[in-house]
Structures are given as structure tokens and as C-alpha cells.
Structure 1
Amino acid sequence: MTEADGTATTETAPEPQGGRTIAVLGEMLELGDDSLEAHRNVGKMAGELGIDIVIGVGGDMVKQMVLYAGAHGVEQLAMVADNKTAADFLEKILQPGDKVLMKASRGGMLWQIAQQLTGQPVTGF
């Protein structure tokens, strides 16, 4: 954090206490020949970052992300077919303090999940 004059301060935002980190992963489109490796790398990264729960939304490429997340330490994994099912699942498992991260191409429309969870329109996409 910096003061108005640009000098640094020692004050930092408090880290959220408790809660799990949940990654909702959808297909990343238009990657061509690199698609399989890219999807696997995202799954691997989820494990390396200590994500607690990975929820895959979609088909075979997403399944690769979820499998690689499991192989790299994520213990709680789920696969669902569509955004509605993902949002319904999240509504059942979310606890106070949980953080939800989402990654997919725009075509995956994961914003629909955020919209269902918050009850608010999601714009800017």
C-alpha cells in the first residue's frame, strides 16, 4: 500500500481467515494443437497452488484438467456437465469464507455461475 505521496507503508490488507479455495474450470477454446497440454497444465497448477476443490464444467478437455489436478494434490474433485449444474453444486457446498475462482474461455460462459450464485447481473464480458 502507498500513501498519497507515493511512499510505501507497512500496512497490508488482512488475509482472509479460514475458507477453502474452489476452482471452477471450463474448457479453454481455440488452443489448437496445444489444447491438451494447456488443459493439463491448468490442472497441475491447481494442485501446485493448493486449491482445495476443483469443479470441472464440460467435456473431455475439462476432464483432463480435473484428472491432472487430482494427480497433483487436489483431493476434492467434481465433474459436471453444465453451468447450471455447477452453480447448483456450489450452492450446496459453499461455506462462509470460501473463495471461488473461475477459468474458461468466454465461450464457457462461467459468468452464468457467478450470476446464479450472487443473484446479480454480471457485466463486462
Structure 2
Amino acid sequence: MTEAEGGGRKIAVLGEMLELGAEALEAHRSVGRMAAENGIDLVVAVGGDLAKQLALAAGAAGVPDVAMVADNATAAAYVNSLLRPGDVVLTKASRGGMLWQVAQALTGQPVTGI
């Protein structure tokens, strides 16, 4: 994401990492801080409590815009509503988060794995 080009905003749709065990809380906060360090303009955190921690850390570290949503369909609809030409969108979570659904929805593909 640090090398993303396009002249638009950098948007990161980030879901929960489900396999981290005891390190989960700090790992999610770390990802939020990394988003700020890498110049992300908008973080959309998808999920529950761990995603909330990611979102809070991103905002505290300086990400200008942060949103929290409960599910992939809501994330896709939200991001789609504000996309502008040149924006770059990254989706990342553990496999269990199925964020490929967000990428599929944003690119007009059939959404799989429902």
C-alpha cells in the first residue's frame, strides 16, 4: 500500500485476524498504527471488538478518516459510496474474514463465499 499509485486516496478495508490467540489485541492495534504510518487516508474496520481496537488505534495514530462496520456487505456499500477516480483500495483480513467479498463487490464480480 505504501507504493500505491493513482493520485487518489489510499483506503484500507481491514478485518479481524482470527488466528492470533493471546497476541490478537496488540496485533490489531499495531495494524491500526501501521495504517497511519503508511499514509492511509481512510481505514474501514470490519468486524467486532478486535476491529474496533484496530480502528481506535488508527485514529489515535493519525489516520484522517476511520469507519467501523459490522460486515463485508456494509463495508462494500460504504466504500463504493465514496470512491473517486484514482482511489486505491486494499482489503486485508484473515481468511475467515472473507474480505475478498468486498473486493468482488467493488469490482462488479459475483460475491462468493456467502
Relative to the length of structure 1, the TM-score reads 0.82
Q: Which string of whole-angstrom CA distances, capped at 9 and with x for unpartnered residues, describes residues 20-50 of structure 1?
A: 0001010001101100010000001001111
CA distance in 1, matches of 2:110, 2:80: 17
Bigger RCO of structures 1 and 2 (CA < 8 A, at least 6 apart): 2
Give the counterpart letter for 1:64 in structure 2. Q
1:3 is matched with which residue?
A: none
Match of 2:67 in 1: 78
Q: Which runs of 5+ in 1 are unaligned?
A: 1-14
Match for residue 61 of structure 1? 50
Question: Secondary structure, in 3 states, of the residue corresponding to 2:17?
Answer: coil
The answer to whether structure 1 residue 92 and structure 2 residue 87 are counterparts is no
Q: Tell me the residue number matched to 1:28.
A: 17
Deviation of 1:120 after TM superposition, in Å, equals 2.2
Letter of the 1:63 counterpart: K
Evaluate the alpha carbon distance shift between residue 110 and residue 17 of structure 1 in structure 2; reply closer, same or farther with a 3 A threshold: closer
Distance in structure 2 (CA, Å) of the matches to 1:86 and 1:96? 18
Percent identity reads 68
**Residues of 2 paired with 1:57 and 1:112: CA distance?**
12
CA drift of 1:122 comes to 7.6
Residue 85 to residue 17, structure 1, CA distance change in 2 (3 Å): closer
Q: TM-score, normalised by structure 2?
A: 0.90
The whole-number CA distance in structure 1 between the counterparts of 2:27 and 2:81 is: 30
Contact 2:39 2:63 in 1 (8 A): yes
Q: Is the 8 A contact 2:45 2:51 kept in 1?
A: yes
Unmatched tracts of structure 2, length 5 or more: none
